[in-house]
Chain A
Amino acid sequence: MRLDRLELELRRRTPWEALDLGLGMVRRWALPVYRVWFLFILFPAFLVLLLFPENGWVWFAVWWLKPAADRLLLKVFAEASFGAPPTVKQVWKSLPGLLRHSGLFSELTWRRLSSYRSFVLSILQLEDQRGAAFRKRSRILGRKTQGYAVWLMHACACCLVIFGLGLLFLMVWLTPGDFQEAFEYIFSFGKDGETSRFWSIFFMMAWLTAETLVEPFYVAAGFSLYLNRRSDLEGWDIEVAFRRMQAERAQAARPLAGKHKGVAAVLPALLLVLLIGFAAQPFAARADDEKEDDKPPPEKVVRVKGEARRQALAALAEPAFGRVKTETRWRWRNQNDKEETENDDIPDMRILEKFFGGLAQVVRAAFYGLMIAALAACVVFFYRNRERFWPEALPQRGRRPETLFGLDLRPEALPDDIPAAALAEAEAGRWIAALSLLYRGALVTLIERDRVTFYAGDTEDLCLMRVRGHVQGEALTVFAALLLDWKAAAYAGRLPALARIRALCADWRAHFAEPSAVGKEGA
């Protein structure tokens, strides 16, 4: 047995880890194993079951014959572990021998229900032990391992049930209609011809699928358990380490011995060779290149030979030098590819493509246009309503309207002494002008002095409301009286008496006089 060829890492393992290694074996050698499994085991079983789908005895017979299948699987695993997974042809040729000389009879009779079948199989098949020798051997090997083999057996049996029932449940869930109906179908097994046939074939598929998932693992884990026990008993890992030491020491010793002897004598010659070597280097390099052109390119990565090469490869194999990673990502197809495929298209499709391409452009342009319009609308909206959003930002003066509801409020349009001017107007018979003058003067004073804000659409009553709270007592009544007179004169044409105007003028002077000077100053 060439342990150095073993593709399993040798180290001390707990039996649990050995079982885990079995799963790793299934993963690594999935191709050679499942090749054999599908061809030689699953396919015949499937055929037989398909012929007699409703005969329970056939099912039982197929199940009972499982040890025969295990032998094929074990052969694959055992040979793959030593680096040479068998081909389908090899397995086919070894088939008669495997069935005859691997203790199949005992396994199909009194050992069929044994709990550590897959563990013991290695002793029967690979060591070829029979009778008393077999019993002794399995006692020794099984001493610390049998319990784990039992765990393995039960775990695999459970997995079989789980996968089988899992498929059944999946089927029931994915069947339209409610659960109850589906279950009724299942349990009408044997009564209704068509449904029973369907379900028996379904059960068969489920069972075979479950076996496909579980059986290779069962065999691999049993084999791994066996290997682990033997490695533990016989020190396989130590053997490999010792052999390696032997080889390394031998290799290290050989070149060293030669060098030490002749170093003194060789040194000058070596220098000379080095010098010549430097001088001749370009030529040598060219010669090398030419040689390489003739031959197919050899491994380009490492060109050193012998010890250095071995060490370099060993160093590269260490995990510090990273690992190979496969990344999958989407990328654009080549422009060329696209054109090629387009050439095959019928012209109608091209027109469609152009049409939709144009449409897409239009939609895009419309979208951008809409965005710009929306932006502009926003700007305009905010500009228009800037007073509402940023009242502080506007200069105080700017807030002073020049006209309110058609009345000219510019200070320069007003005379210096408003009551006097109003009285003069009244005496001249222009009552409306007199009242207007007073009213406008009052408004200007209110705006300037009392910081009352009026808006363009305000009515007289609204003005009064706005003034309230800014002006107290007498002034307010005066303003209200003035408004009343103004309204009566302006809208109803009822003119006040001259005495009334005089009184108003006097009151006006008392309450609104001074700040009109402020208005003047501002102007």
Chain B
Amino acid sequence: MKKGCPVLATNAEKTIPRLDTIRRVRTPEGCELELRLAGGVVRARAWIIDFLLRLLILVGCAFVLSQIGRLGGALLFLLYFLLEWLYPVVFEVLCQGATPGKRFSGLMVLRDDGTSLDWSASVARNFLRAVDFLPFCYAFGLVTMGLNRENKRLGDLLAGTLVVYRQTMTAPKVTDDDRKEEVPPFALSEAEQRALIEYRLRAPGFSRARAGELARLASPLIADLPPDDARDRLIHLGNRLLGRGALAAKTEGSR
């Protein structure tokens, strides 16, 4: 218990926030959104997928267009031009801020304030690829991404856009069917509830010893139970918070 006190003091007084890759955006309504910024490796992966897709389209069309001689060659060049410049713009504006590669990698592009992309922003960020690409294969873009907190390349800086992960973090599924519930001995704060739910969801994945060890840390909730019982107790508390199990069903019915 004594160990805990200085912990809190250091946390509260710390001026530098802990390192994370989240950008918090406050909407006019006062909601706080957490945008999970995407970094270089995923974005490079998304780009490679897009690149291969474009290559595939181009090769496919080359086969067809080669049948009509020199006109086909001209058309192929036009197609190449359009693919190179308009492919990302069109997809980002019309398909919820994601080219196929970005969609596959779970990414999307948003504006700095978390609103969706419009034509001008998309055109700005994608046409500046020409500069990001210099002097060789996005070297400037990569360096720029390293130099600012939000992993923006030059195009993103110009257009005021962010590349973020599309999905909110999915919680692991509960696979066991322990549905017993217990009522917590005191009102839990939001953070405590979150921690309990998190424990409930992930405890089956921990080793038995670790799960017990963790449960023992929640001493106000488990009093002096041995580790295994403590674990079960926390799982039951978590069940209640998650609203799964017989007790929840009963109270629902009585209402």
Contacts and interface: CB of A to CB of B under 8 A. Distances in A.
Contacts of A314: 11-12
B34 to A, nearest CB: 10
B20 A246 contact: no
Interface string B38-70: 111110110000000000000000000000000
A28 B11 contact: no
A516 to B, nearest CB: 76
Among B20, B134, B145, max chain A CB count under 10 A is at B20
B218 interface: yes
Query: In which size bucket is the chain A interface?
Result: 35 or more
A245 B41 contact: no
Nearest to A23: B39
A243 B213 CA distance: 12
Contact of B21 (A17, A151, A242, A310): A17
Contacts of A245: 189, 191-192, 195, 218, 220-221
Given A238-B199, A245-B220, A159 B142 contact: yes
Contacts of B198: 12, 235, 237-238, 241
Interface stretch (A3-11, A188-196, A374-382, A444-452): A3-11
A313 B13 contact: yes
A16 B165 contact: yes
B154 to A, nearest CB: 14
Interface stretch (A160-168, A428-436, A479-487): A160-168
B143 A20 contact: no
B214 A313 contact: no
Nearest to B32: A319
Nearest to A224: B19
B206 A233 contact: yes
B19 A235 contact: no
A9 B21 CA distance: 9
Main SS of the interface on chain A?
helix
A238 B137 contact: no
Contacts of B214: 235, 238-239, 242
Interface string B169-182: 10000000000000
B138 interface: yes
B111 interface: no
B194 interface: yes
Interface stretch (B2-10, B71-79, B247-255): B2-10
A205 B78 CA distance: 40
Interface string A23-38: 1111110000000000
Nearest to A164: B136
Contacts of A165: 136-137, 139
Nearest to B221: A245
Nearest to A247: B4
Interface of B: 1, 3-5, 7-14, 16-22, 24, 26, 32, 36-42, 44-45, 105-106, 134-140, 142-143, 145-146, 149, 151, 165, 169, 189, 191-192, 194-195, 198-199, 202-203, 205-206, 210-211, 214, 217-221
Q: Give the top 4 A-B pairs by smallest Cβ distance, nearest first.
A: A247-B4, A20-B39, A166-B139, A241-B195
Given A9-B17, A13-B169, A245-B191, 11 more contacts: A6-B18, A16-B39, A20-B41, A21-B19, A152-B41, A162-B137, A245-B189, A247-B7, A250-B1, A251-B8, A317-B14
